Amino acid sequence: DTEVTQTPKHLVMGMTNKKSLKCEQHMGHRAMYWYKQKAKKPPELMFVYSYEKLSINESVPSRFSPECPNSSLLNLHLHALQPEDSALYLCASSLNPAGGPGETQYFGPGTRLLVL
């Protein structure tokens, strides 16, 4: 099983709502990532979790709150978002947090978020 799943596929929320994005992998990977991708732009790294601990936060606003309850699950909690936060949110995982030859990231299909 080389699949990363993300739910929901689409999400529409108001600026005062609280919602969560969910990501799961059952490949035994110990690193998990959140990326944000605006239309016609490349993905941008937001967070890296290594062995269920937050290891990198790319200066992401606090209205985005990541959580890694266990090694297979990654959440992104959203609160008080702005319309400019509308984007495709991608989750990825890799076997080891440290890069190296053959170390690749497996991406999920993403959650398309629209903030009204």
Site string for another protein, 84-113 (x = CB under 8 A): ----x-xxx-x-xxxxxxxxxxxxxxx-x-
Candidate residues 11, 21, 46, 48; the one interacting with another protein per rule CB under 8 A: 48
Candidate residues 4, 11, 21, 46; the one interacting with another protein per rule CB under 8 A: 4
Site string for another protein, 52-91 (x = CB under 8 A): ---xx-------------------------------x-xx
Number of residues that bind another protein (CB under 8 A): 33
- Phi/psi at 114 (nearest 5 deg)? -125, 120
Cβ proximity of 67 and 77 under 8 Å:
yes
What is the spatial distance between Cα 21 and Cα 47, in angstroms, rounded to a whole number?
Answer: 14
Cβ proximity of 44 and 36 under 8 Å:
yes
Which C-beta is closer to another protein: that of 36 or that of 115?
36
Cα→Cα distances 17→59, 111, 116, Å: 22, 17, 10
Which C-beta is closer to another protein: that of 43 or that of 66?
43
What is the spatial distance between Cα 34 and Cα 14, in angstroms, rounded to a whole number?
Answer: 21
What is the spatial distance between Cα 105 and Cα 99, in angstroms, rounded to a whole number?
Answer: 10
Which residues of the chain form contacts with another protein (CB under 8 A)?
4, 31, 33, 35, 42-45, 48, 50, 55-56, 88, 90-92, 94, 96-110, 112
